[in-house]
């Protein structure tokens, strides 16, 4: 099966600083992929490049056979990729309902009103709590509910590929588990998922395959269960760099 | 075969996977192994500049002599406590070659060997007997582990006399034999001489590993032992047995391209040769954690076959010629470097290595290394008995260091045996 998302030799720049230094990775239809590694390793940068937020990159990003080079975020969304950003970035003063409707912004402009209604039903059946809170300002939701809202909002664009940046951040373990279960449900509904996580354990338990990032490069890739039992990953999971760990060893 | 998704990959996905694995291997090697880091820096290339499989040509070669120089653990890319197996093989000179494996590395070898055995139609209903020279003990372990994983009944590698091996083969109803060409030939010869019919043994498959076998000899084995032969290619120092293997087409050997990147170079100029040309096989590991090889010069002559295989496998094939492009002799699949033999002899005996000749000799199905020493005055300062003792002691030392049988013969000066 051809890859749905194929990235080759991606280099991302913030001004003159290269934050991603030549990364290749691929995602197949129906997979859950975890990108793990310490803070600043380039995981979120890669997501920004894929979603069109960061434009200063070289290399190839190809989604369903089409290059994403030069696309702005709305174009990327229209092509079937949605991002659930780090820190959720919901609109706190707006109601839950409006937050969700904003997720369908690109589709509402295409006058696909009925389809948007279907998406709204899908989201509320996935997260019944959101429907209960429809008219509440989003800022009054708990952390876990806000994360559900952020995921729900991204689903309103009817993506085929969902990118999640640190969905477990700041959440209690039980809520993290719930979020990971939701990802599995979404996969069964036909979505493909890429997950950036510092919580490597939770991410790899949910994922099929993973990539381990270190200072802008990939140092390990493989099946999630292989990575879970890998000593290097255990160290990355502990938030320690190879070098630090080796210093301790010797 | 179960879980072998890679065999269903499109060419595009295959290249993508190879690129991803190549890049992460280079990143690990660059970060973890100072030898690799320094050499890449000296060559003026960083891992980030390798943007395609063809770009590996920018990287320096790894040679057997490097193992000697960085003995024992300097080429390891993981801390020692991550290593679960340490393996020793004859080196090029003073030091043996030491390689290590993480649990994941061993799992990868099981995967590759299972794939190779499956291609030879080995199934859980088989009884598989492994008969290798002690120098290939690590291959014996890999075959055993993989076959057990598949649910095959395994008779592990044990050092038995030829007669005993035959007895086991017959009485234990072995169906698959994994062995060297010399032993397979001897078995075939024995069956022919004794007029053993096809019904006398349950054996239907011989997997030949360690050395290339000529078409003619293969035909002899297949006709006289009533079996189908399958050839496997591997490296006995690092890392294992089933780097490439034959499929049903028996036309070239499929390389495990999800674990190895193969190049063919001109051994003289070290330039990469155009597709299809014969030269020296150079391998880069794509999944190895503990002991990554980057552009390792195997010394084996091969060519990459361009046409797709009728079996439909996406794995590219090599034609393995059997000749060496370097100074290595194969004794039942064990690589023996002339330099190492000479070093040991010079230490043990009053000889100058340059005068020593050696060759691989067949002894009833087992190969051994025959060494011809020119006699000189130094030898005759002692009694004959003492000389004999010294020679036997030297043979023991060679056997221990090389892992193959050795015989030293004294010859008159100027004779070469």
User: Worst-scoring range by mean pLDDT, A35-39, A58-62, B35-39, B236-240?
Assistant: B236-240
Q: Are residues A72 and A179 in the same domain?
A: yes
Burial group, residue A157, by CB count within 10 angstroms (0-12, 13-18, 19+): buried
Of B20, B27, B103, the CB nearest to A25: B20
Q: Tell me the per-residue pLDDT of B223-238, one tens digit each, with 9 for 90 and over.
A: 999 999 999 999 977 7
The low-confidence residues of chain B, meaning pLDDT below 70, are 1-3, 380-382, 414-417
Which of A124, A158, A192 lies at the terminal end of a domain, its last residue? A158
Contact B321, B267 (CB under 8 A): no
Residue A249 vs residue B58, higher pLDDT: B58
Of B10, B27, B104, the CB nearest to A230: B104
Distance between CA B202 and CA B184 in Å, rounded?
15
Q: Are residues A66 and A104 in the same domain?
A: no
Runs of H (alpha helix) within chain A: 43-50, 73-78, 96-103, 105-108, 113-126, 128-132, 143-155, 173-188, 200-206, 224-228, 231-237, 242-249
Q: Are residues A233 and A170 in the same domain?
A: yes
Q: Are residues A193 and A226 in the same domain?
A: yes
Q: Are residues A167 and A151 in the same domain?
A: no
Can you give the pLDDT at residue A241? 47
Q: Which CATH architecture has domain B331-411?
A: 2-Layer Sandwich (3.30)
Q: Tell me the per-residue pLDDT of B87-101, one tens digit each, with 9 for 90 and over.
A: 888 877 778 889 999
Contact B47, B55 (CB under 8 A): no
Domain ranges of chain B: 1-325, 331-411
Task: Tell me the residue range of the domain where A22 lies.
Answer: 3-80+160-249
Which of A141, A158, A175 lies at the terminal end of a domain, its last residue? A158
Here the CATH number for the domain that contains residue A51 is 3.40.50.300
Q: Are residues A64 and A126 in the same domain?
A: no
Predicted TM-score (pTM) of this structure: 0.90
The single residue listed with the structure tokens 């793990």 is: A36
Q: Are residues A73 and A148 in the same domain?
A: no
Q: Tell me the per-residue pLDDT of A87-97, one tens digit each, with 9 for 90 and over.
A: 999 999 999 99
B344 CB neighbour count, 10 Å cutoff: 21
Q: Predicted confidence band at A219 (pLDDT cuts at 50, 70, 90)?
A: very high
Q: Which residues pair with A32 in a beta bridge?
A: A193
- Nearest-5° angle of CA B192, CA B194, CA B195? 60
Can you give the pLDDT at residue A15? 93
Distance between CA A163 and CA A81 in Å, rounded?
7
Residues of A in CB contact (< 8 Å) with B are: 1-3, 6, 8-9, 11, 21-26, 211, 214, 217-222, 226, 229-232, 242-243, 245-246, 249
Which of A158, A192, A218 lies at the terminal end of a domain, its last residue? A158
Q: Are residues A195 and A243 in the same domain?
A: yes
DSSP for A4-68, written as a single string: EEEEEEEEEEETTEEEEEEEEEEEETT-EEEEEESTTSSHHHHHHHHTTS---EEEEEEETTEE-
Cβ separation A2–B10 shorter than 8 A: yes
Distance between CA B387 and CA B225 in Å, rounded?
44
Q: Predicted confidence band at A144 (pLDDT cuts at 50, 70, 90)?
A: very high
Q: Tell me what ipTM this predicted complex has.
A: 0.91
Residue B170 DSSP class = H
- According to CATH, the topology of domain B1-325 is Rossmann fold (3.40.50)
Cβ separation B13–A2 shorter than 8 A: yes
Contact A178, A162 (CB under 8 A): no
Can you give the pLDDT at residue B330? 86
Write out the H or E segment, with its range, that includes residue A171: none
Q: Are residues A132 and A164 in the same domain?
A: no
Contact A3, A26 (CB under 8 A): yes
Can you give the pLDDT at residue B414? 61
Q: Are residues A31 and A75 in the same domain?
A: yes
Q: What is the number of structural domains in chain A?
A: 2
Is the per-residue pLDDT at A142 higher than 50? Answer: yes
Of B12, B31, B107, the CB nearest to A2: B12
Can you give the pLDDT at residue A222? 96
């Amino acid at each position: 099966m051809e890859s749905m998302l194929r990235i080759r030799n991606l280099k991302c720049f913030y001004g003159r600083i290269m934050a991603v230094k030549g990364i290749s990775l691929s995602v197949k239809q129906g997979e859950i992929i975890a990108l793990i590694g310490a803070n600043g390793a380039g995981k979120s940068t890669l997501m920004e490049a894929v979603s069109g937020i960061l434009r200063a990159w070289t290399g190839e990003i190809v989604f369903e056979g089409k290059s994403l080079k030069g696309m702005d975020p709305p174009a990327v969304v229209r092509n079937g990729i949605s991002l659930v950003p780090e820190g959720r970035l919901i609109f706190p003063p707006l109601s839950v309902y409006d937050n969700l409707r904003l997720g369908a912004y690109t589709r509402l402009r295409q006058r696909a009103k009925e389809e948007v209604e279907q998406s709204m039903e899908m989201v509320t059946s996935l997260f019944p709590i959101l429907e209960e809170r429809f008219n509440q300002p989003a800022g009054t939701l708990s952390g876990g509910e806000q994360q559900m809202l952020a995921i729900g909002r991204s689903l309103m664009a009817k993506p085929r590929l969902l990118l999640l940046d640190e969905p477990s951040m700041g959440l209690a373990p039980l809520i993290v588990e719930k979020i990971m279960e939701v990802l599995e449900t979404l996969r069964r509904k036909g979505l493909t998922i890429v997950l950036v996580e510092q919580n490597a354990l939770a991410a790899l338990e949910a994922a099929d395959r993973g990539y381990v990032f270190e200072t802008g490069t990939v140092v390990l890739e493989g099946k999630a269960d292989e990575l879970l039992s890998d000593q290097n990953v255990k160290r990355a999971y502990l938030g320690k760099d190879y070098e630090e760990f080796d210093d301790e060893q010797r | 075969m179960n879980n072998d998704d890679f065999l269903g990959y499109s060419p595009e996905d295959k290249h993508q996977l190879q690129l991803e694995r190549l890049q992460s291997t280079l990143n690990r090697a660059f970060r973890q192994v100072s030898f690799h880091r320094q050499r890449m820096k000296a060559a003026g290339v960083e891992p980030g500049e390798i943007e395609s499989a063809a770009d590996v040509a920018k990287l320096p070669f790894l040679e057997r002599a490097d193992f000697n120089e960085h003995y024992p653990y300097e080429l390891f890319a993981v801390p020692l406590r991550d290593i679960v197996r340490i393996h020793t093989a004859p080196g090029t000179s003073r030091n043996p070659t030491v390689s290590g494996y993480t649990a994941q590395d061993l799992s990868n070898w099981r995967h590759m060997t299972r794939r190779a055995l499956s291609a030879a139609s080995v199934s859980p209903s088989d009884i598989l007997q492994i008969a290798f020279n002690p120098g290939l003990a690590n291959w014996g372990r890999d075959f055993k582990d993989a076959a057990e994983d598949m649910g095959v009944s395994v008779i592990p590698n044990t050092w038995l006399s030829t007669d005993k091996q035959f007895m086991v083969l017959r009485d234990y109803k072995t169906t698959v034999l994994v062995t060297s060409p010399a032993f397979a030939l001897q078995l075939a010869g024995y069956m022919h001489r004794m007029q053993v019919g096809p019904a006398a043994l349950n054996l239907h498959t011989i997997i030949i590993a360690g050395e290339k076998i000529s078409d003619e000899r293969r035909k002899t084995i297949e006709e006289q032992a009533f079996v189908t032969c399958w050839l496997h290619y591997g490296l006995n120092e690092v890392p294992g047995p089933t780097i490439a293997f034959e499929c049903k087409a028996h036309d070239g050997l499929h390389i495990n391209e999800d674990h190895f990147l193969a190049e063919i170079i001109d051994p003289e100029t070290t330039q990469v040769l155009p597709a299809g040309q014969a030269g020296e096989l150079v391998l880069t590991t794509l999944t190895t954690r503990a002991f990554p090889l980057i552009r390792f010069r195997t010394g084996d002559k091969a060519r990459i076959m361009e046409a797709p295989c009728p079996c439909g496998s996406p794995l590219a094939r090599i034609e393995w010629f059997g000749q060496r492009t370097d100074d290595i002799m194969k004794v039942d699949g064990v690589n023996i470097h002339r330099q190492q033999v000479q070093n040991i002899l010079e230490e043990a005996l009053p000889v100058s290595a340059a005068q020593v000749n050696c060759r691989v000799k067949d002894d009833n199905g087992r190969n051994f290394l025959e060494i011809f020493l020119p006699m000189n005055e130094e030898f005759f300062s002692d009694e004959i008995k003492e000389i004999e003792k010294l020679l036997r002691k030297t043979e023991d030392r060679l056997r221990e260091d090389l892992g193959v049988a050795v015989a030293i013969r004294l010859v008159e000066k100027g004779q070469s045996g």
